[in-house]
Amino acid sequence: MPNFPTLAKLADDLESGRATSRKLAEACIAKIADPAGEGQRTFIHVDKDAALAAADAMDGLRKAKAAPSRYAGIPISIKDLFDIKGQVTRAGSRALDDSPPAEHDAVTVARLRKAGFVVIGRTNMTEFAYSGIGINPHYGTPKGIWNRAAGHVPGGSSSGAAVSVLDGMAHGALGTDTGGSCRIPAAFNGIVGYKPTQRRVPLDGSVPLSFSLDSIGPLARSVSCCAILDAVLANEPIVPLKPRPVKGMRLAVPTTIALDDLDAAVAETFERALKTLADHGAIIERIEMAEFHDIGPMNAKGGFAAAESFAWHRYLITSKGDVYDPRVAVRIMRGEAQSAADYIDLLNERRSLIARVNARIAPYDALVMPTTPNTPPKIADLADDKAFAHENVRALRNCSLINMIDGCAISLPAHREGDVPVGLMLAGAGGSDRRIFELAAGMEAVIRV
């Protein structure tokens, strides 16, 4: 990955005068406009004038010693799922083209602006966030970092979010995660993606996929970058992140489902990372997670995503179904067959699942597993619907386990430089966000050696 700076480095440069927000914004805009790059497929909308005006404002406030935060003036991207005042929120679709512009910023967008971050533009995504692959037939598909000439998927649904950070078109990104949509594109592109405990970050002002599972999180270049953005999104104080020593970490590797059918590169990278952690003194135990076997049957009729997305889309898809991505529409329509009794059963089963898993993992600091069992497939190889469905289910599998247990999780790059990107996921029960960040910060420096 190109050696772009972290948020801390950018903040230092802004404070010292080595950089200005104007110059940072202009550099991001130039990257987006580069015809040899992925900008045209990565962004659905770039608000150049507003971004430069905001950058100039932050430079003025910093000069007056009135910057709203240490990170004021740093350009970030916003997934097309979020309301931005005065803009149409399309959610990566054409079905919302004639919707009125948003009257207010989404709560999370407003919080980022309040901290002084500069919004560069709206990033491309899987239509209505309903896939872990990142292909979009309406706006094109940005190529992921791996073997770009051949064209591999970026991961989804926050596809443009990941590529914007990867290619220096933004220095952080706002994404969502319903079944892995922050973590999968992070894993496929060698960056960091975070899924918070859902209740910490309000969903107001974002187009829902599944209000039971949707989480709003950041994609960025380091664990500390994600921790900074997460604190802003959750309206919590930004406090220094203290990495936990690897020595003494108690880590559980679930052998149920999470290690099935791994691509060779994923298996090799994951086992090497575990050995490295053990060599540094981590206590690693492989455990059965019988509870994970319950999740497949719970989702047999489409689960929360199908039921709740159908409830939201049922009128729109009736009038404009012909402009939906067929691969998205077919998944939404699965919700039509679910009854109220099915949905109530699902709610009760999930409550039981969460309680049982939390009891199982209580003795450990975190769960550790591959973020995805697959490496990024070629875009061209997914033209066939069966091939697409197969790889999509694989990409979502491990991440969605954590959404179902109402947990929090981070994906760290675990591959060596030059190898195919592979993510290592660190996860915990809901409410353990700070611990997960501290553990991840401790691991980050050692797992790629």
Active site residues: 79, 157, 181
Residue type, 329: A
Residue 287's SS3 state is strand
13-16 CB contacts, 8 Å cutoff, 24+ apart: 14/62, 14/72, 14/73, 14/74, 15/62, 15/70
CA nearest neighbour of 343 among 377, 307, 319: 307
Opening angle at CA 306, ends 230 and 197, nearest 5: 20
- Structural element, H or E, at residue 251: strand 250-254
Pairwise CA distance, residues 447 & 410, whole Å: 14
Tokens found for residue 312: 């939201």
Pairwise CA distance, residues 126 & 81, whole Å: 10
Strands (E), 20-95: 43-46, 75-79
What distance lies between CA 157 and its chain's CA centroid? 8
Tokens found for residue 46: 């770039």
Crossing angle between the packed helical segments 21-33 and 7-16, to the nearest 10 degrees: 130
Tokens found for residue 358: 């939390």
Contact 42, 87 (CB under 8 A): no
Pairwise CA distance, residues 409 & 429, whole Å: 9
Cα-flanking dihedrals φ and ψ of residue 285, to 5°?
-125, 130
What distance lies between CA 132 and its chain's CA centroid? 10
- Structural element, H or E, at residue 15: helix 7-16
